[in-house]
């Protein structure tokens, strides 16, 4: 039987995984809510499926693997809300199920370290929704579930260079604030490694080796571009969207030992410096 990944919410991270799996002969079906995005998905070699909208049962029937990237809302997990009973009825047919969560489930640790054994104490609404979604997926009997808690994602098209170039970047300063990050290529290789070595019930943190203050990342991007250091703005005075400001409500350093010791992953971009250098080398314009 051909290995078939049904990817719910086939976005940035899922596309990176697809780029690894398609050359290996996988069939990938990616759901999206948008006809425009469906066309882009098709161009990548992935079979698009409008969901909700089109009948998803044939895709579920043929799936050997599931990836859930769609984020929860106050109403719960959208995939379980629409298909929970269908997925539960088929739990035994899947070789691997991956749920993309967030390190936001750990809450604020005032710059302290967390790992996969740290209790979930989210302080934001989005973090609370994620904890509830994780628990709902874990409650399905017999489902070979793997949870991946992602740090801040960057990669091609998602980095600080555009804002630094156009002069809108700011170094937002909040005393003691640190974030962990992960390059999208490293997300893809961790997911692929887990698919190759499934351990149902596993939880993995996906982040690099160097939690760092956000202003350091902006400063290094400017240095790479040979542009002036963007101005510093205090957190209290910064003009940010409510969502952007909410990220600063939590500060922690996330450990990634498990993906290395258990999955044998060697990060391609172990810190933001190597990651940004690689991005600029790939697209210097």
Residue at 190 is within a domain: yes
Residue at 234 is within a domain: no
Residue at 221 is within a domain: no
pLDDT digits (tens, 9 = 90+) for 210-232: 999 999 999 999 999 999 999 99
Q: Residue 263 belongs to a domain with what CATH number?
A: 3.40.50.720
Residue at 227 is within a domain: no
Residue at 122 is within a domain: yes
Structural domain including 26 reads 4-154+182-209+254-269
Average pLDDT, the chain: 95
In this prediction, residue 247 carries a pLDDT of: 84
Burial class (CB in 10 A: 0-12, 13-18, 19+), 242: exposed
Q: What are phi and psi of 238, to 5 degrees?
A: -70, 140
Q: If pLDDT is split at 50, 70 and 90, which confidence band does 53 have? A: confident
pTM more than 0.75: yes
Residue at 176 is within a domain: no
The count of domains in the chain is 1
> Which SS3 state, helix, strand or coil, does residue 259 take?
helix
Contacts of 11 (CB under 8 A, 6+ apart): 69
> Which SS3 state, helix, strand or coil, does residue 212 take?
strand
pLDDT digits (tens, 9 = 90+) for 160-189: 999 999 999 999 999 999 999 999 999 999
Residue at 68 is within a domain: yes
Give the percent of the chain with pLDDT over 70.
Answer: 100
Output the furthest CA–CA distance in the chain (Å, rounded).
58
Residue at 247 is within a domain: no
């Amino acid at each position: 039987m051909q290995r078939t990944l049904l990817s719910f919410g086939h976005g940035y991270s899922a596309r990176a995984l697809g780029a690894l799996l398609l050359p290996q002969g996988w069939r990938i079906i990616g759901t999206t809510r948008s006809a425009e995005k469906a066309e882009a998905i098709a161009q990548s070699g992935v079979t698009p499926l409008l969901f909700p909208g089109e009948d998803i049962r044939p895709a579920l029937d043929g799936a050997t693997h599931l990836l859930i990237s769609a984020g929860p809302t106050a109403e719960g997990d959208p995939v379980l809300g629409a298909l929970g009973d269908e997925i539960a009825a088929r739990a035994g047919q899947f070789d691997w199920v991956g749920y993309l969560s967030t390190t936001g489930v750990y809450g604020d640790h005032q710059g302290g370290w967390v790992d996969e054994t740290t209790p979930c104490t989210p302080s934001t609404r989005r973090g609370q929704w994620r904890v509830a979604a994780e628990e709902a997926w874990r409650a399905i009997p017999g489902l070979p579930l793997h949870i991946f808690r992602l740090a801040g994602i960057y990669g091609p098209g998602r980095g600080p260079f555009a804002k630094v170039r156009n002069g809108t970047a700011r170094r937002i300063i909040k005393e003691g604030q640190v974030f962990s990050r992960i390059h999208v290529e490293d997300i893809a290789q961790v997911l692929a490694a887990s698919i190759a070595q499934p351990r149902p019930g596993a939880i993995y943190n996906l982040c690099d080796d160097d939690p760092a203050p956000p202003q350091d990342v902006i400063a290094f991007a400017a240095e790479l571009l040979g542009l002036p250091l963007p101005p510093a703005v205090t957190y209290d005075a910064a003009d940010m969207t409510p969502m952007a400001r909410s990220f600063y409500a939590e500060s922690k350093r996330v450990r990634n030992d498990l993906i290395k010791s258990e999955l044998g992953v060697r990060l391609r971009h172990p810190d933001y410096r190597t990651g940004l250098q690689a991005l600029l080398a790939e697209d210097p314009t």
